Structure 1
Amino acid sequence: MMAPVGAIEGVLATPPVLTMLGAPPPVAAPGGPGFADLLAAGMRGVESKVAAADDLVRRFTLEDGVPVHQVTFALAEARLSVELAMQVRGRLLDGYRELMTMQL
């Protein structure tokens, strides 16, 4: 017994005619955040760590209740975040330069 044509079309993701003609199958859009969104989120994280370290240093100089080890830890975390951001920036620039020098 043969299935109706409408039922078969619902099962096929790409019609066979398009595949035989060489047309690329449709690509589903990714559901996650884009590359620019990830970079922006990373930079916001770096900015928040630097701001938190700056706030702790300010409170340490004005108040007696802030322990030295908290300030030291916040400053080290902020420094490492900035260094990581600079490394990512350098790798992105290297990749861009390499793409620009490629011959087509």
Structure 2
Amino acid sequence: MNIEAIQGLGAHDEVPASLPPPPAAGAPAGLPFSQLVTEGLQGVNQQLVASQSDLQKLALGETQNLHEVMVRLEESRISFQLMMQVRNRVLEAYQDVMRMQI
């Protein structure tokens, strides 16, 4: 059995020595969660609007590069699917918390 390939992967598994320290308890850790969610939703919405505009231009024959249109459509589809998965996970976590007995 050849283990040289496996040994080559070991260097990538190490944790870098210069990790930032974790935030102190009670200290603000950056942006509030609601602001992060709002910015994420706005970003997904902008991608969807841009892809809809690209589709309209494609239907009218005004686009020059079909490849770029298809790439932007796929990016917006993937970002929308990611947003839906995050929503599902948040909703599932909320339901788990609500089912907890005190």
TM-score (normalizing by structure 2) = 0.69
Alignment gaps of 5+ in structure 2 = 1-25
What is residue 79 of structure 2 aligned with on the other side? 81
Query: Could you say which structure has the greater relative contact order, defined with CA pairs below 8 angstroms and 6 or more residues apart?
Result: 2
What is residue 96 of structure 1 aligned with on the other side? 94
TM-score (normalizing by structure 1) = 0.68
> Is the contact between residue 50 and residue 78 of structure 1 (CA under 8 Å) also seen in structure 2?
yes
Superimposed CA distance per residue, residues 13-71 of structure 1 (whole angstroms, 9 cap, x where no aligned partner)? xxxxxxxxxxxxxx44x162100110010000100000111111111222444311111
**Residue identity matched to 1:66:** Q
What is residue 46 of structure 1 aligned with on the other side? 44
Q: Highest CA radius of gyration, 1 or 2?
A: 1
- How far did residue 82 of structure 1 move? 0.7
Alignment gaps of 5+ in structure 1 = 1-26
Q: Distance in 1 between matches of 2:63 and 2:98?
A: 54
**Residue identity matched to 2:87:** R
**Alignment: residue pair count:** 78
Runs (4+) off by over 3 Å: none
Q: Distance in 1 between matches of 2:95 and 2:77?
A: 27
Give the 5 Å matches for 1:16-55.
Answer: 27-28=26-27, 30=28, 32-55=30-53
**Residue identity matched to 2:55:** V
Identity of aligned residues (%): 35
Taking only aligned residues, the RMSD between alpha carbons, in angstroms, comes to 1.7
